[in-house]
Structure 1
Amino acid sequence: MTTNIGKIDRGGRLVIAAALLILALGTNALGAGILFWLALVVAAVFTLTAFVGNCPLYSIVGLKTCRNC
C-alpha cells in the first residue's frame, strides 16, 4: 500500500479526531443519537488513515498530499 497522506495532513487528521472524541465523549453536545456515533466513526477513520498513511478516498480521486510519494 502506497502512502498518499503527508505529515501535515496526518497531524490535522489526528487533531480533528481528538476534537471529535472530546466532543462526543467529553460533552453532551452531540447527545446519544446519530451525531454521537457519526463523530466516533469519523474519529476512528481519521485516526486509522493517519497512522497507516493511506486514504482510500484520496486513491480514488487521485489526490496526494505528500511530497515524495
Structure 2
Amino acid sequence: MKRNMGNADRMIRLIIAAMIVILYFTDFLTGTWSIILLVLAGVFVTTSAIGFCPLYAPLGINTCSIAKSTK
C-alpha cells in the first residue's frame, strides 16, 4: 500500500477521533449512534497510523506531499 494521506489529513482524523472518544466517555453520545461513531473513530485512528485511506484509492485522491518518483 502506498501512502495517500498527508500529515494534515492524518492530524485532522486523529483530532476528530479524539473528540468522538471524549464525547463518548463523558456520556454526551449514547445509544447506537455512539457505537457507530466509535467504530468510525477506530477507522480514523487506523488509517492515520498507516497513512493509507482505502476510500482515497478508487477516487484518485492523494493528500501525501511526498514527491512521486519518475521511472
Tell me the percent identity: 43
Residue ranges of structure 2 left out of the alignment (5+ in a row) = none
Q: TM-score, normalised by structure 2?
A: 0.87
Deviations 1:3-53 (A, max 9, x none): 00000111111111000000112x22222x111101110110000000000
Instruction: Please tell me the root mean square deviation across aligned C-alpha atoms, in Å.
Output: 1.0
**SS of match in other structure, 1:67:** coil
Query: Which structure features the higher share of helix residues?
Result: 1
* Corresponding position: 1:4 with 2:4: yes
TM-score, normalised via structure 1 length: 0.89
Unaligned 5+ runs, structure 1 = none
Count of aligned residue pairs for this structure pair = 67
Shift of 1:66: 1.1
Moved over 4 A (4+): none
